[in-house]
Structure 1
Amino acid sequence: MARLILTSRIAITTLVALLAWTGAAAAFEAEAQLHEAAKKEKDFTWYTAHYDSETAAAVCNGFEKKYAGVKCNYVRTTAQVAYQRVSQDMKGGLAIASVISSTDTSHHGKMKKDGWLQPYRPKNLGEQIGAFKPYNDPDDQFVATAAGLVLINYNSSLVPDKDAPKKWTDLLDPKWKGKVSIGHPSFSGYVGTWVVQMKKMYGWDYFKKLELNKPRIGRSINDTVTMLNAKESWVGAGPLATTLQSKDKGNPVAVGYPEDGAILMISPSSILKNAPAPNTAKLFMEYLLSRDANEIMVKFRQDPVNAHVKPLPGGRSIADVKTVRPSYEEIDKGIPEVKELFRDTFGI
């Protein structure tokens, strides 16, 4: 009887270990064949506004390590610049990038309408967090591969936590005059979405009042973190991930989750119709949704889109945060409108 129990325990232990190994090494359908096809293409180019340059590089490096024989070339810019690059390539008949990842969801809708994208439904789409599935294109021409938050960030060596802004309207307080930093909607998809949502919640008067505080205006949403670190500003409307990344490096920055809602950012990726490396592009789309890629993303404080990967300690899960977000239609119509209003109001 003792031998039988011991044998059973060994069998169970072996089975558990085997299942764990199988789960970790689980491949999507036809992964090996797609990898072989990608190796024949040798490399591909990825236009991306997702993350910062350091994170984009890490994602590319991770892809190359997982899929030997394939080189990943990333071009990290703001969303508007990424879209302009694709537009220029398409109009010039140039096939350069294979994958485009923008933080402005309306870009993907426009590219779909203009016939610049090709459909692909990732085989591992089942691992995507359920809350993000409604943001995938029903015709499989774009899929949500990144998520994040726009919230209030601040320099914690200048602003005690108790005095930090608690809601978006607090940035209008005259005590922050000359001390607020924001990005520009003509460059950043994150900023464009934030401006559309603020206009929706508070009207354009919000920005007329903010202008009285003479904010420092960068291009990228990430510029707010740079300005906080340099003490050029004290508070800002900035990104969760880049702020926490900077904090992890020892910089005195912190985040506040606005009582009136952090802006939920859903950022899609697409394969371009004229992709010079279509098989590598499909493999990369699979990778962006994979556990491997998402484990890299969370190390850089990005929010995971894979259901099996959890955020690092120190930041809240998106599921636990009050969030607000304009609809796709509001973003598509609103960003072009607010770009003009922003220039008129801030003169830049």
Structure 2
Amino acid sequence: MTFAVMNALVLTTVACGSKEEAANNNAASAESTSPSAASTAPTNTASASEQPAAAPANQGEPLVVYLNDFDEIIKPMFEEATGYKLELVTGNGAELASRIEAEKGNPHWDVVWMDSMPTIDQMGKQDQLLADWTPKDIDNLTDFAKQFVPASHAYFPTGAHAASVIIYNTKAIDANSAPKTWKDLADPKFKGAVGMADPAVAAPAYPFVSWFFGAQGMDAGKQYFESLIKNGVHVYPKNPNVAKALTGGEIKVAALQESNAYTLKNSGEPVEIVWPQEGAPASVRVAAIQKNTKHADAAKAFVEFLLDPKTQQALIDQGEESYFEPSAKDVQPKKDRAADAKLVAAEAGWAGEHEGEIKQWFADQAVK
């Protein structure tokens, strides 16, 4: 597959994958819910395609949280710890962003918790979010996480994962020949052998590409990805598709989301992971409260629960999307996560403002 961005271009936000893809492609990802998780999902967790009831009118009714379709274990954890009732509405990033936009005049949600910091940053600038509120544990954020807290305090980071690391098939490439930097992916020796996810479709793929544009400038970002295109890069809808192509021999090297990469390695596939010295672009997960929520106390309690070190440790130890860098201090990442893992990220405001432009540029490459 050449650089053919999928016809269903998503311009509202980066989209997550489906649960079915994750099962079929043997890769737990930031875009999907595992089959085991799906079978144990809470009975009152709503699909993003279902029509929710209006926002609860009093604090005795559940807090409605829109979140990516993984880590639904947060419901029993939060309810047991606080006594508040929680209703989860899950879906991929594009679905949830579309719902939020459609409900702008009458929001049905109280809290949004997603891997879509640029989109949520834009929501804050559009005055959709509760601002000027400070969670009690904000001083316990790591230095890395503090940089993502906006001056308005409209949202807060709960963790970050690598939108892509470099991973290669050890049956096709030895360690000495393997790429070490992002620039290496354009090396002629990897012509037609590199794969990545579509930034217009896959949730982590937009944070991945936006870092190059934000750090280097729009022209330099285009030049870099043009060099990959000329080198025959394969673009797949989502990260599980990339993982399948890598293990199946269709490609030899990939820019692959962190959890997908570690899932392959932990399952015994012949792969090795490389964290580029210049850093791996991060997808930052943030939580924000709807400005006019009728459940402010419960909403604030939920955000503070997400920032609690004990909660983040539980998500790492037991969650579906467990490979990430916590935002709270004194939380231990997965033991097999590289000790030298370095994350970098495009500035949220800039990435949000240029999202449509960058995605459109990638879409335009499909007809060239």
Q: Give the TM interval when normalised to the shorter protein.
A: 0.7 to 0.9
How far does residue 136 in structure 1 lie from its aligned partner after superposition?
0.6
Q: Which residue of 2 aligns with 1:344?
A: 364
Select which of 288, 293, 311 maps to 2:306: 288
Whether the 8 Å CA contact 1:185–1:335 is kept in 2: the answer is no
- When residues 116 and 330 of structure 1 are mapped into structure 2, their CA distance, relative to the original with a 3 A threshold, is closer
How far does residue 58 in structure 1 lie from its aligned partner after superposition?
3.2
Q: Any residues of structure 2 matched to 1:242-261 within 5 Å, and which?
A: 242-261=260-279
Distance between the aligned counterparts of 2:270 and 2:336, measured in 1? 14
**Alignment root-mean-square deviation, CA:** 2.9
Distance between the aligned counterparts of 1:58 and 1:157, measured in 2? 37
Q: Which letter does structure 2 place at the counterpart of 1:164?
A: A
How far does residue 64 in structure 1 lie from its aligned partner after superposition?
3.7
The SS at the match of 2:337 is coil
For 1:166-186, what per-residue CA distance to the aligned partner results, in whole angstroms no more than 9, with x for missing partners? 111221133434432212222
Whether the 8 Å CA contact 1:101–1:268 is kept in 2: the answer is yes
Distance between the aligned counterparts of 2:246 and 2:58, measured in 1? 42
Distance between the aligned counterparts of 1:247 and 1:95, measured in 2? 42
- When residues 245 and 262 of structure 1 are mapped into structure 2, their CA distance, relative to the original with a 3 A threshold, is same
Distance between the aligned counterparts of 2:58 and 2:323, measured in 1? 29
Q: Which letter does structure 1 place at the counterpart of 2:330?
A: H
- Within the alignment, does 1:138 sit opposite 2:151 as a pair? yes
* Higher helix residue share: 1
Distance between the aligned counterparts of 2:72 and 2:249, measured in 1? 27
- When residues 223 and 123 of structure 1 are mapped into structure 2, their CA distance, relative to the original with a 3 A threshold, is farther
Structure 2, unpaired ranges of 5+ = 1-56
Whether the 8 Å CA contact 2:59–2:294 is kept in 1: the answer is no
Q: Any residues of structure 2 matched to 1:176-215 within 5 Å, and which?
A: 176-188=190-202, 190-199=204-213, 200-201=215-216, 202-215=220-233
Distance between the aligned counterparts of 1:117 and 1:74, measured in 2? 18
Q: Which has the higher contact order (CA 8 A, sep 6+)?
A: 2
The SS at the match of 1:186 is coil
Q: Which residue of 1 aligns with 2:103?
A: 89
- When residues 236 and 94 of structure 1 are mapped into structure 2, their CA distance, relative to the original with a 3 A threshold, is farther
Select which of 322, 327, 348 maps to 2:347: 327
The SS at the match of 1:161 is coil
Q: Which letter does structure 1 place at the counterpart of 2:277?
A: E
Q: Which residue of 1 aligns with 2:287?
A: 269
How far does residue 222 in structure 1 lie from its aligned partner after superposition?
5.4
- When residues 227 and 108 of structure 1 are mapped into structure 2, their CA distance, relative to the original with a 3 A threshold, is same
Q: Which letter does structure 1 place at the counterpart of 2:123?
A: M
Higher Rg of the two aligned structures: 1
Structure 1, unpaired ranges of 5+ = 1-36
Q: Which residue of 2 aligns with 1:241?
A: 259
The SS at the match of 2:289 is strand
- When residues 42 and 220 of structure 1 are mapped into structure 2, their CA distance, relative to the original with a 3 A threshold, is same
Q: Which letter does structure 1 place at the counterpart of 2:281?
A: I
Whether the 8 Å CA contact 1:43–1:72 is kept in 2: the answer is yes
Q: Which letter does structure 2 place at the counterpart of 1:341?
A: W
Select which of 161, 164, 167 maps to 1:153: 167
Q: Which letter does structure 1 place at the counterpart of 2:243?
A: V
Distance between the aligned counterparts of 1:133 and 1:111, measured in 2? 19
The SS at the match of 1:96 is coil
- When residues 289 and 225 of structure 1 are mapped into structure 2, their CA distance, relative to the original with a 3 A threshold, is farther
- When residues 197 and 113 of structure 1 are mapped into structure 2, their CA distance, relative to the original with a 3 A threshold, is closer
Whether the 8 Å CA contact 1:38–1:283 is kept in 2: the answer is no
The SS at the match of 2:299 is helix
Q: Which residue of 2 aligns with 1:44?
A: 64
Whether the 8 Å CA contact 1:245–1:301 is kept in 2: the answer is no
Distance between the aligned counterparts of 1:39 and 1:160, measured in 2? 59
Distance between the aligned counterparts of 2:363 and 2:64, measured in 1? 37
Whether the 8 Å CA contact 1:118–1:273 is kept in 2: the answer is yes
- When residues 40 and 61 of structure 1 are mapped into structure 2, their CA distance, relative to the original with a 3 A threshold, is same
Q: TM-score, normalised by structure 1?
A: 0.75
Whether the 8 Å CA contact 1:166–1:258 is kept in 2: the answer is yes
The SS at the match of 1:118 is coil
Select which of 298, 302, 316 maps to 2:324: 302
Q: Which residue of 2 aligns with 1:103?
A: 115
For 1:266-294, what per-residue CA distance to the aligned partner results, in whole angstroms no more than 9, with x for missing partners? 33221122446443322221121112221
Whether the 8 Å CA contact 2:158–2:285 is kept in 1: the answer is yes
